[in-house]
Structures are given as C-alpha cells and as structure tokens.
A and B are shown apart, each in its own frame.
Chain A
Amino acid sequence: DSGVTQTPKHLITATGQRVTLRCSPRSGDLSVYWYQQSLDQGLQFLIQYYNGEERAKGNILERFSAQQFPDLHSELNLSSLELGDSALYFCASSARGEGANVLTFGAGSRLTVL
C-alpha cells in the first residue's frame, strides 16, 4: 500500500457520460498529480496541484477538469466521454522539500468507455 488511495478501481461507462475519479494523497503530501496511461499514448501527465492551487498543466483535454480540495484530496472530472478516453488514470502525490521530486503513485482507476 503506497498510501495514495484512488477510487473507483474500475469504472465502465458509455460515451457522452461524465465520471469523477477521486484521489487521496499520502498523509502530509501537499502535491497531487494526475496521469493518464493508455496503450497508444503511454504515461501522459495531465495536471498538478499544490495545496489546492493548480501548479502545472500537461496534455489535459478541455473536457477534463480537476481540483484539489482543502483536505488535499483531489478529483478528476472527465466529461463527454469518448472511446479514446478509456485508460488507466493514476494519481500521485509528493512531499515538500527534498521529497518534492519523488512521486508516490496510487494503484490507478481503470476507465472503460463503451
């Protein structure tokens, strides 16, 4: 157990729908990162939050949004889902100071869009 908790583990939905993925970072970690892993795109950075504020943005589609709440958990919202959004979505967290460079990953949420 890495200490990063992601729910749900598996999710099956239809095209056009909206889903929310949830992440609780390791205790004490202020940064949360979201990654998408698919067979054709590999591991793609989506977005990073630090203590509630957006810190960096990667290849995140406009149909996707995220936020980090005061209790530091984060949610990734995926809307108007397409078949190509089927992927593993990972959350990672990192600490402050020297630990800020090291990412601790959750087990992922596997999204299947039918």
Chain B
Amino acid sequence: AQSVTQPDIHITVSEGASLELRCNYSYGATPYLFWYVQSPGQGLQLLLKYFSGDTLVQGIKGFEAEFKRSQSSFNLRKPSVHWSDAAEYFCAVVLYSGGYQKVTFGTGTKLQVIP
C-alpha cells in the first residue's frame, strides 16, 4: 500500500546549523513528491515539489530536496536554519489511482530552532 514515512517526530537544531528532514515513501513507481510546512496556527504551505527531471529541487525559503529513487527517499535540506523555520514539516505523496489523484501525508516532523 502507498505510504509515506517521516521517521523523525521531533528535531532540534541550532540557528545557523544545517538541517535535513527525512522522508521515505512506499510505492512501485515514482510518485509526485511534495514538502509542506505548517507554522503554528496556520494551514500548510507548499515548500517544493518533484514531478520528474532533475532530482534536486529548489523551493521557497531556501529549502531544497533530493529525490533518490534507489532509497525511495525525498529528504528536505537547508544549509543554514533561521529561527523562523521552526514549524512542522510534512512530506506528501501524490499518486493517481483510478484516474484520480490521491494525496497521502506523512506524520510530520516538528522542528525546533534554538539560539
């Protein structure tokens, strides 16, 4: 069955440090892959997406993600974290099933940024 796994429930990093959030998916083919961010009290906002082509994709707010087919992963990275990046991050997979798209979200990773 289609699934998305975010192994880290909570991550704490120091401001200015690098960040990598993990995402693994389970599916036979290459799905469409997304990262969304949810700030406290807000809805989810799209950070970046991967459909095909270059496996390293750039997003908003200085984030990037790399699709690795061999590892079924789509990890999110940022070279230098800012305090405003504290939020919850969701990986999502979009698959077409029966002609319709189905979106599955991971359980999220809460990012805490310390001074």
Interface of B is mostly: strand
**Selected contact of B101 from candidates A42, A90, A92, A101, CB within 8 Å:** A101
Instruction: Say which one of A14-22, A61-69, A75-83, A104-112 lies at the interface with B.
Output: A104-112
User: Counting CB contacts under 8 A, is B90 at the interface?
Assistant: yes
Interface size class of B (residues with CB under 8 A): 20 to 34
Do A103 and B103 form a contact, CB below 8 Å, given A90-B43, A108-B43? yes
Interface residues of B in 56-115 (CB under 8 A from A): 90, 94, 100-105, 107-108
Q: Which residues of A contact B (CB under 8 A)?
A: 2, 4, 33, 42-43, 45, 48, 55-56, 90, 92, 100-108
11 interchain pairs, CB-CB under 8 A: A2-B43, A42-B105, A45-B102, A45-B103, A92-B44, A100-B101, A101-B49, A101-B94, A102-B46, A105-B43, A105-B45
